[in-house]
Amino acid sequence: MAQFVLKRLLMLVPVVLGVSVIVFGLLYLTPGDPALLMLGEHAPQEQYLALREKLGLDLPVHIQYLRWLGRALQLDLGDSIRSSRPVTEEIATRLPATAELAVLAVLVATLIGIPAGVISATRPNSWLDNILTVLALAGVSMPVFWQGLMLIIIFSVYLGWLPPSGRLGGWEYFVLPVITLGTSAAASITRMTRATMLEAIHEDYVRTARAKGLNERRVIYRHALRNALLPVVTIIGLQFGNLMAGAVITETIFAWPGIGRLAVDAIRTRDYPVVQGVVMTFAVSYVLINLIVDLLYAYLDPRLRVRYH
Amino acid sequence: MASTMEAQRTAGLGVDTRGQIWRRILRNRKAVAGAILLAVIALAAIFADYITVHDPYTQNLRNRLQPPSSDHWLGTDQFGRDMFSRIVYGARISLRVGFISVGIALLAGGTMGLLAGYYGGWLETIFMRLVDILLALPSFLLALAIVSTLGPSLTNVMIAVGIAYIPAFARVMRSAVLAVRQLDYVTAALAAGASDLRIMVRHVVPNALNPIIVQATLSLANAILAAAALSFLGMGAQPPTPEWGSMLNSARSFIRTAHHVVTYPGLAIMITVLCLNLLGDGLRDALDPRWKG
């Protein structure tokens, strides 16, 4: 297993380096002077020259990249142009808010998605299955931003039960953002669980378990679900990617002080060091989460471990 | 021949005749329902000039935020513009954005996957590592990052979303090509002296089409969602363009007084995406019975 982990970790290096090239290169995608782009046309000359100096814009591009990468490896992503605070500090203060939102959303999505998928698959083509299937399809088709606004209209404006925005502490502030962020993940997990369970139920070992006279509950949960869960683990991991994207939108709607909103604010104010920092943070977290999923997958399915030896 | 068919089956490629495939698609309720609804939306988009009474851009401030009525079926927005007209014209924009983005992704990703799968070697290594790198960023975030540097506009959204979906197509095309490439008729064409280009265009691509069609349909749904989300964040279509995401963004502040300005554009996005997902799911079931959604 240690060898497997090491191999997977080594495979990450070129990917993360590649992402860093893209993140750094984004600023150079547009023709024109990056310093001018960040400060705007009417910036004072001294400020402009200072930024050019700071970004090392007079140096060849590859030297600029290596300097940026060297600093990034020491967790120095430069300073925010708007707040003048270090980008890493800006991200570190906001990351916990995004993390708690994402983890809660995945948790809720898994707790809803897996049982819903199992219920659907064990009663194929029943009215319950049809309703759950349609709901799941609607869940993956619903725009996150619209769903957030509709929840605000219903639960904050009309019913007055829950606060429409902010994160002042109480659990009531979490309800709407977590539902907004978790719905599409729950829907994807339901769809995947249903599909894999339907396959598992027709496998020989399930028939054997039934033939042994085990009760249906045990057959479904101990035999079929255990095997059906493998692909579901991957889907849950992949959901984190959608969740990061969803966080950008959800945090904007609910004025949630996480890094998603930081990204949108930074893009609007052309604060490129912050944009680069947030994108890099998202990419590294996504890659790491996928690594964890892979390892979990290998732990759950020993055949995969063997293949890497 | 039996082994050929088996290989095709494991590759998710149909060995059925076109008639059999069509029959399977037509028997699939999801695919048919999705296709019919999508056709209605597409027809509305094409004939928007004929089915709307009001101009989507004409403001009438005295008539702002009116609830649905017989004159304005879906009410009016904060500038007194007819919501029904704006939503119907919005279908034109969203479908165009979806098709162009997926077109970019399909052309670039498909070509990369085709060349990688067909030639293998260093070309495959370079292309597929590039795909791995692009996949390290969730596609919406990649699109957001690209559009943040290109600047906010609908054209840039199409480019950004197109680039973000390249990896998906490259992967699907490569695995389909890998499966087809070792089949007897490709070997036969090679032995007969056919050029690589001819083999790719005449033999490989047509037989790798099924998974690509499914991927394109499902990507179209996601691309429309992503483009609307970018416009909602202010990075895509700009007012007064009747784009659904942008309409939602500018109507946000009126949810307390007139929720219809938010409800209907969102419903339009959801119904369109739902149709595409239905169609995609149905096509996947029909074209490849191994995958069940």
Cβ atoms of B191 and B239 closer than 8 Å: no
| pLDDT tens track for A264-300 | 999 888 888 899 999 999 999 888 888 888 888 777 7
Chain A nearest-CA distance from B106, in A, is 21
Q: Do B148 and A267 touch (CB under 8 A)?
A: yes
Q: Do A143 and B259 touch (CB under 8 A)?
A: no
Chain A nearest-CA distance from B11, in A, is 18
**pLDDT confidence of residue B3:** 47
Q: Do A287 and B252 touch (CB under 8 A)?
A: no
Single-letter residue type at A47: Q
CB pairs under 8 A between A and B: 135
Distance CA A188, CA A172 (A): 26
Distance CA B114, CA B196 (A): 11
Q: Do B137 and A22 touch (CB under 8 A)?
A: yes
| pLDDT tens track for A45-89 | 888 888 888 777 788 888 989 998 999 999 998 888 888 899 999
Cβ atoms of B132 and A251 closer than 8 Å: no
The structure tokens listed for A117 are 């998928």
Q: Do A19 and B150 touch (CB under 8 A)?
A: no
Closest CA to B275 of B101, B98, B75: B98
**pLDDT confidence of residue A30:** 64
Single-letter residue type at B218: L
Residue recorded with tokens 């989300």: B229
**pLDDT confidence of residue B277:** 93
3-state secondary structure of A255: coil
With 90 as the cut, is the pLDDT of residue A36 above it? no
The structure tokens listed for A47 are 């400020």
Cβ atoms of B89 and B56 closer than 8 Å: yes
Chain B nearest-CA distance from A265, in A, is 10
With 90 as the cut, is the pLDDT of residue A202 above it? no
Q: Which residues pair with B76 in a beta bridge?
A: B82
3-state secondary structure of A272: helix
Give Rg (Cα) of chain B: 22
Per-residue pLDDT of chain B (293 residues; tens, 9 = 90+): 444 445 555 444 545 677 888 888 888 888 899 999 999 999 999 999 999 989 999 999 998 999 999 989 999 999 999 999 999 999 999 999 999 999 999 999 999 999 999 999 999 999 999 998 998 888 899 999 999 888 899 999 999 999 999 999 999 999 889 888 888 888 898 888 888 899 898 888 888 888 899 899 999 999 999 999 999 999 999 999 999 999 999 998 898 888 899 999 999 999 999 999 999 988 888 886 554 43
Q: Which residue in A141, A281, A282 has the most chain B C-beta atoms within 10 A of its own C-beta, making it the best mutation to test that interface? A: A141
Q: Do B255 and A26 touch (CB under 8 A)?
A: no
Q: Which H or E element spans position B130?
A: helix B121-135
Q: CB-CB: which of B141, B269, B278 is closest to A143? A: B269
Angle at B68 between CA B65 and CA B70, to 5 degrees: 125
Q: Which H or E element spans position A129?
A: helix A127-141
Q: Measured between CB atoms, does A143 come within 8 Å of chain B?
A: yes
Expressed in angstroms, the distance from the first to the final Cα of chain A is: 9
| pLDDT tens track for A115-155 | 999 999 988 888 999 999 999 999 999 999 999 999 999 99
Structural domains in chain B plus CATH codes: 8-56+73-291 (1.10.3720.10)
Cβ atoms of A149 and B252 closer than 8 Å: yes
Count of Cβ atoms closer than 10 Å to residue B3 Cβ: 9
Q: Do A146 and B270 touch (CB under 8 A)?
A: yes
Q: CB-CB: which of A141, A152, A283 is closest to B277? A: A141
Chain B positions in Cβ-Cβ contact with residue A140 (cut-off 8 Å) = 277
Cβ atoms of B245 and B161 closer than 8 Å: no
| pLDDT tens track for A211-265 | 888 888 888 887 888 878 877 887 787 788 888 888 999 999 999 999 999 999 9
